[in-house]
Amino acid sequence: MSERSTRPRRILAVVVLVAGAVALVASVSAGQSAPVAGPAPVPVAQDTLAHSISVAQDKLRRTPRDPLTWAQLGTAYVEQARITADPAYYPKAQGALEKSLQQQPDGNGAALIGMGALANARHDFAAAKTWGERAEAALPDTAESYGVLADALTQLGDAGAATDAIQRMLDHKPGVSSFTRASYDLELHGRIDDARAALQRAVADATSPSDVAFCRYYLGELAFNSGKLDDAAAEYDQGLAVDARNVSLLGGKAKVAAARGRVDEALAGYRDIVARVPLPQYLQEYTDLLVAAGRKPEAEQQYAVLDSQQRLFAAAGVTDDLTASAVAASRGDNAGALTHAQAEWGRRQNVLVADALGWALHLNGRDAEALPYLDRAAVLGGRTAAFAYHRGMALAGLGRKADAVAALADALEINPYFSPVGAPDARRALDQLKAAR
């Protein structure tokens, strides 16, 4: 058996080993009543993190020469940027981490891990890989260094090395961080049941409300991406029971409402989310729903907010041509979508970027060039509705009707709600192709 074929099996072995513990924890917690949420509380993770930052700042005011605390502060700033969607924390993180490295240039694993996390957050995945390798050399028995490496390698498209890094995380520290990464790796390889088992193991290991909410969100995403709306809603609700203002979970609820045809409810949910956390992901989902609802003037307003937010991220050192390509495609800027997708492909060549580049080529009428990229998007074995839809449309453009029908039908079988714009378009195209046969 080849080395490549043994990697996923080894991760699965760890997941299966603890499946009994997952079931036991679930049975005990099922009898507990959910905590009552207060009026519009601050998300749990944000509140906890803000306290950690304040404590570190106070300590450094008293003892400024403290490389470990500088490293902890910098890493906390990276996480705060993620939670608040405020990229102004990235320069603060860089300053704190560089201060730590100035005070302790050698063997400063904590700062190296923080720099790797910062580089990943800024989408500089090549730099993140370098920082992760340096962190591994400084702290070879620390799971966090492998987490940085796993994230960078996954985004760079080095799937085998990413799986290896995740396995090292599991070997050193089989907890929430390692099992959630294992879940994503398994999902990319099309092993949805195993991905779910890994996330259930992560829930069993979770000791804080923010970790529970994090795991429940991704369990909800696995269910939603398989078209299982009731299961998705149940997972989002369980997460909200412990973190009532978690925007990821609220976004999941809005997405389910849209899929169920409760468009006004979904739009109200997204409106609240983007007002508090204007991340490009939520803004794009909101604008897609506005377009699908025929509310294009409001969608244009949100596109303007998205443009502004992307400029803020760029000013803070974030490079994200993948999102820019998707936004351009949504707005009908096909040339812009292709330019951004090509730029992203020049930096990293994973399945997400392969799909984006293939889709942009299709939108520009270059289906023969698009198809190899769209085929490459499925190379790991993952079944993604949007990928199948994009491939189906390119096949239709090439006149390969039977193959196009199969791909579009597959997209709608995987998840008939995958996009408020794309799913209806897939149905229309499928109906037209069948009528023409």
pLDDT digits (tens, 9 = 90+) for 159-214: 999 999 999 999 999 999 999 999 999 999 999 999 999 999 999 999 999 999 99
Domain presence at residue 167: yes
Domain presence at residue 421: no
Domain presence at residue 304: no
Q: What's the pLDDT band for 48 if we cut at 50, 70, 90?
A: confident
Amino acid 44: pLDDT = 59
Q: Can you tell me the mean pLDDT for 411-423?
A: 98
For residues 48, 50, 56, 61, the Cα torsion angle rounded to the nearest 10 degrees is -150
CA distance 177 to 185: 13
Q: What's the pLDDT band for 12 if we cut at 50, 70, 90?
A: very low
Enumerate residues 6+ apart whose C-beta is below 8 A from 202: 175, 176, 179, 180, 183, 211, 215
Q: At what angle do helices 159-172 and 176-188 cross, to 10 degrees?
A: 150
Residue 66 belongs to what domain range? 1-25+45-205
Q: What's the pLDDT band for 231 if we cut at 50, 70, 90?
A: very high
Kindly report the pTM of this predicted structure: 0.88
Q: Rounded to whole angstroms, what are the CA distances from 307 to 86, 173, 283, 302, 329?
A: 15, 40, 10, 9, 14
Domain presence at residue 50: yes
Encoded amino acid at 370, one letter: A
Q: Can you tell me the mean pLDDT for 251-255?
A: 98
Q: Can you tell me the mean pLDDT for 224-242?
A: 98
> Chain-centre distance of CA 352, in angstroms?
11
Residue 212 in contact with residue 241, Cβ under 8 Å?
no
Domain presence at residue 361: no
Q: Is the pLDDT of residue 5 over 60?
A: no
Amino acid 84: pLDDT = 86
CA distance 74 to 90: 9
Count of Cβ atoms closer than 10 Å to residue 294 Cβ = 9
pLDDT tens by residue, 286-319: 999 999 999 999 999 999 999 999 999 999 999 9
Q: Rounded to whole angstroms, what are the CA distances from 148 to 84, 120, 167, 229?
A: 21, 8, 13, 32
Q: At what angle do helices 334-347 and 351-363 cross, to 10 degrees?
A: 150
18 or 181, which is more confident: 181
Q: Can you tell me the mean pLDDT for 385-405?
A: 98
Domain presence at residue 416: no
Domain presence at residue 186: yes
pLDDT tens by residue, 22-40: 332 332 233 333 332 333 3
- For 100-111, letters b (16+ CB in 10 Å) and e give bbebbeeebbbb
Q: Is the pLDDT of residue 73 over 90?
A: yes
Q: Can you tell me the mean pLDDT for 142-146?
A: 95
Count of Cβ atoms closer than 10 Å to residue 399 Cβ = 9
Longest dimension (CA), the chain: 77
Domain count of the fold of the chain: 1
Domain presence at residue 152: yes
Mean pLDDT of all residues in the chain? 90
Enumerate residues 6+ apart whose C-beta is below 8 A from 136: 145, 146, 149
User: The domain that contains 67 carries what CATH number?
Assistant: 1.25.40.10
Q: Is the pLDDT of residue 43 over 90?
A: no
Amino acid 293: pLDDT = 96
Amino acid 1: pLDDT = 35
Q: What's the pLDDT band for 47 if we cut at 50, 70, 90?
A: confident
Residues in the chain: 437
Amino acid 171: pLDDT = 95
Q: What's the pLDDT band for 9 if we cut at 50, 70, 90?
A: very low
Q: Is the pLDDT of residue 13 over 70?
A: no
